[in-house]
Every structure is written in C-alpha cells, then in structure tokens.
Amino acid sequence: MTALAGQPVSLDRPQPGVRLRVVQMADAEELAALYEANREYLHPWEPERDDAYFTVEGQLDNLHDLVEAYATEEMWPGVILVDGEMAGRITLNNVLRGPLQSCFVGYWVASAHAGRGVATEAVRQALDVAFGALRLHRVEAFTRVDNIPSQRVLERNGFTAVGTARRHIHLEGRWHDERLFERLAPWDDGIALTPPA
C-alpha cells in the first residue's frame, strides 16, 4: 500500500478505467493542453521541446509523424486514458523485426493522475500489445538512473535491470546515464522467433 497524493492506493490490482489506444489526429487539441499543463513536470524527463510543440499546430505535426510511423509498423504510438480522459502517452518505439523482434517502451502520466497505478497498468497493457498483436519477443526500456518511480513501474511489470548505459540521453542541457531494463515475451522458450500460432 503506497500513500501518494494523499490517498492510499494499492498498485497490486489492475487500475480500472485505464485504457490505451493508438493516437489520432483529433487528439491534437487535448494533447497540446496536456503537454502545456505538464510542461514543467515533464521537463527533467523529456527531450528539449520548442514552444511550438505545446500548441495544437505543433501537436498536429507530431501526430502526423506518429500516425505515419504507425502505418509503416515502425512504432505503436498510444495515448493513456483514465475513465475516458487523456492522462498521458505511451509508445512502443523502434520496432525491429528480423532476428531481434524487439522494441522499447516510453511513457508519461500527467501529474494530476500520478501515484495511482496508472503507469503501472498502462505498461502492463502495452506489453500485451507488444507480445500479442505485434508478436514481439522483447521489450526494452531506459530510465534516468535517478527516476525511481519509473523504475518501479518497470519492476512491477516484470522487467529486469540489465545495466547502466553511460551518458545515454541528453536532457536539461547535458548527458545522463540511464538504466537499461528488459522484458521477454511470456511465450519465450529460448528457441521460438515468434509466438506459437
């Protein structure tokens, strides 16, 4: 039991009301507002963004690229909904096929929804997409070494830490080390390249 945001929550049971879906161009207005509202909160963890990124036009440009990358199966760009309300983003990035069958997961949850198990549940559902619909074998994740809440989200979803990548991500004007995490598909038997039919 963790008391965050003033109310006891149990992260052991799935958080009802959390849903994922693929982004759509019609999300531009809600996403621009959500990014703007969380601009400072996300700043330590997100790439440098110019002001345009926090506008509807900026989000339309971004969504155009995401929808295109989804169409070419390079990524699965999703939004996190809590009781139908947009609460964050989650993406299966860099989908690699051939002998790798892998991707890496990235996510954020708006501060208004933080500490209630939303990210833990969203990552759980994203793993279902990765190992199910996308038939991938491996999901990786990177967190800044000081991002304990995000590491907890991954540990809760069965990720194991592999090691530390030195100066791996450039944020807040400098390079930061990141912890690398991995999660293999539940159907992994050390042999099969893809899941049983």
Ligand X SMILES: CC(C)(COP(=O)(O)OP(=O)(O)OC[C@H]1O[C@@H](n2cnc3c(N)ncnc32)[C@H](O)[C@@H]1OP(=O)(O)O)[C@@H](O)C(=O)NCCC(=O)NCCS
The DSSP letter of residue 133 is I
Q: What are phi and psi of 83, to 5 degrees?
A: 50, 40
Facing residues of 178 across strands?
144, 165
Is residue 4 a contact residue for ligand X (CB under 6 A)?
A: yes
54 CB contacts (<8 Å, ≥6 apart)? 32, 35, 36, 39
Q: Which residue is it, tokens 């339309």?
A: 60
22 CB contacts (<8 Å, ≥6 apart)? 70, 76, 77, 78, 79
Site for ligand X in 16-45 (CB under 6 A): 42, 45
CB of 84 to ligand X, least distance (A): 17
CB of 107 to ligand X, least distance (A): 6
The pattern of x and - marking residues 61 through 80 that bind ligand X according to CB under 6 A reads: --------------------
Applying CB under 6 A, the span of 18-26, 90-98, 124-132, 146-154 interacting with ligand X comes to: 146-154
The pattern of x and - marking residues 101 through 140 that bind ligand X according to CB under 6 A reads: ------xxx----xxxxxxx--------------------
Nearer to ligand X, 20 or 119 (CB): 119
Contact criterion met (CB below 8 Å) for 23 and 66 = yes
Contacts with ligand X by CB under 6 A lie at 2, 4, 11, 42, 45, 107-109, 114-120, 143, 147, 149-150, 152-153, 156
